[in-house]
Amino acid sequence: MRLEKKIALVTGGARGIGFAIAKRLASEGAILVIADINEQGAREAAEALGSEKSLGIAVNVADEVSVNAMIRTIVDHYGRIDILVNNAGIGGNTPFLDLRLEEWNRTISINLTGAFLVAQACARVMAEQGSGKIINIASLSGQRGGHGRAAYGAAKAGLELLTKVMAVELSEFGINVNNIAPGAIETEMAKFAHDRSTRAAYNYLIPMTRYGTPEEIADAALFLSSEESNYIQGHTLNVDGGFREAGLMFRGSKNLGQTDQP
């Protein structure tokens, strides 16, 4: 029970990676607040955790008023916030030449500005406490130039840099700030954004030749939420099956057209 009685907030936790993280933290004794734009989904997810103390609430992370209301609810309920997993996000796969300003603004406002708003509001509470753990969910798309990832990748790259600045400024308040950068993870978002040829390309480029699972991201989030990571600060932990580090991969006859994964 590494997180016994810790109050943990997971944004976008109604499903996918966020829900898997919430489940993992709860399994180590944390009390969870699942906040999502899908209020019903957030409530059901909190109930599914089986802890009477867990809470499912609505938030639009891109809206400052909504974020502040969420933080007030949490502080009124529990009096503190020990862990924030800044996970809410939307995908996007529009080629650069076709990308419209509206989609660019929407992606940046949820994936980058939203993460900033939630992190700042939580960090103010944590600074008063003198402790806290913030984990931002970035992406491999923020590190490499993926096709169709102009807005999404720019937002995630910005989040990585924001994490470093936060780490520098928040160390004195006892707050750890780190990123997890997932590679290709099997979730609803991936189902929407990855067609058959994208999947084949990923499976070829990833040394482990498969997508990751939300549970594998959750294991990393547990580590960065626990005291076992106390001296890790401003770091990006890639959980990507080796995707970023891979160079030439010779696989004999197994080439791009012949992956056996769908």
Cα distance between residue 140 and residue 239, in whole Å: 9
Structure tokens at 77: 């309920």
Q: Is 17 in the site for ligand NAP (CB under 6 A)?
A: yes
User: Any idea which residues carry the catalytic annotation?
Assistant: 152
In the complex with ligand NAP, which residue's Cβ is closer, 128 or 188? 188
In the complex with ligand NAP, which residue's Cβ is closer, 36 or 82? 36
Q: Which SS3 state, helix, strand or coil, does residue 147 take?
A: coil
Q: Which of 245, 239, 237, 181 is nearest to 207 (CA)?
A: 245
In the complex with ligand NAP, which residue's Cβ is closer, 7 or 112? 112
Instruction: For the sheet with 31-36, list strands across it.
Output: 55-58, 31-36, 7-11, 83-86, 132-137, 175-182, 236-239
Which of the residues 158 through 177 are near ligand NAP (CB under 6 A)? none
Q: Is 188 in the site for ligand NAP (CB under 6 A)?
A: yes
In the complex with ligand NAP, which residue's Cβ is closer, 82 or 202? 202
Query: Which residue is at the shortest CB distance from ligand NAP?
Result: 16
Size of the site for ligand NAP (CB under 6 A): 30
Task: Tell me the sheet residues that pair with 86.
Answer: 136
Cα distance between residue 97 and residue 88, in whole Å: 26
Contact between 127 and 159 (Cβ < 8 Å): no
- Four-residue CA torsion sign, 25, 27, 32, 34: positive
Q: Which of 139, 143, 178, 238 binds ligand NAP (CB under 6 A)?
A: 139
| 1-9, 23-31, 35-43, 195-203 -> range binding ligand NAP (CB under 6 A) | 35-43
Q: Provide the pairing of β-strand 83-86 with 55-58.
A: unpaired
- Four-residue CA torsion sign, 10, 13, 19, 20: negative
Q: Is 142 in the site for ligand NAP (CB under 6 A)?
A: no
| 49-57, 96-104, 121-129, 184-192 -> range binding ligand NAP (CB under 6 A) | 184-192
Which of the residues 63 through 102 are near ligand NAP (CB under 6 A)? 87-90
Cα distance between residue 25 and residue 85, in whole Å: 10
In the complex with ligand NAP, which residue's Cβ is closer, 2 or 106? 106
Q: Which of 56, 92, 114, 158 binds ligand NAP (CB under 6 A)?
A: 114
Which of the residues 190 through 219 are near ligand NAP (CB under 6 A)? 190
Q: Which residues bind ligand NAP (CB under 6 A)?
A: 11-12, 14-18, 36-38, 41, 59-62, 87-90, 110, 114, 137, 139, 182, 184-185, 187-190
